[in-house]
């Protein structure tokens, strides 16, 4: 069994699942996906992207210059998509166990 992903990693991979995004777009999407609960700092994001690129879960999609500044877009790779799918299934399985146990508690009347 693979170790659980840390929440920021899970959210970054999720942000890239739909389409390539540049750094600021990833930051905004992570905040939106988490309902404002997770707000990554730029340094944290780029450190994570370097690690995810090294792990080959994320790759640079393209670069463009906007207002004189380089904008780098990242995309989810096939291995990254597979790892994200694996994590989704792990969370689903854990959630099913939690629901079953909570339901048993409620039915049993334990408070």
Domains identified in the chain and CATH numbers: 7-108 (1.10.10.10)
Per-residue pLDDT tens over the stretch 81-92: 999 999 999 999
Per-residue pLDDT tens over the stretch 1-56: 679 999 999 999 999 999 999 999 999 999 999 999 999 999 999 999 999 999 99
Residue 108, both tokens: 């049993």
* Beta-strand pair 58-66/69-76: antiparallel
pLDDT at 1: 62
CB 41 within 8 A of CB 49: no
Residue 67, both tokens: 């207002």
pLDDT at 44: 95
Residue 52: CA atoms inside 13 Å, Cβ hemisphere, count?
Answer: 30
With a CB cutoff of 8 Å and minimum separation 6, the contacts of 74 are 16, 20, 21, 22, 23, 26, 49, 53, 58, 59, 60, 61
């Amino acid at each position: 069994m693979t170790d659980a992903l840390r929440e920021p990693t899970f959210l970054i991979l999720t942000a890239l699942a739909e389409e390539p995004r540049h750094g600021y777009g990833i930051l905004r999407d992570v905040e939106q996906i988490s309902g404002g609960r997770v707000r990554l700092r730029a340094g944290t994001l780029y450190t994570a992207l370097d690690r995810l690129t090294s792990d080959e879960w994320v790759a640079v999609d393209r670069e463009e210059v906007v207002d004189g500044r380089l904008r780098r877009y990242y995309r989810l790779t096939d291995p990254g998509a597979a790892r994200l799918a694996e994590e989704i299934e792990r969370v689903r399985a854990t959630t099913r166990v939690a629901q079953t146990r909570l339901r048993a508690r409620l039915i049993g009347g334990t408070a």
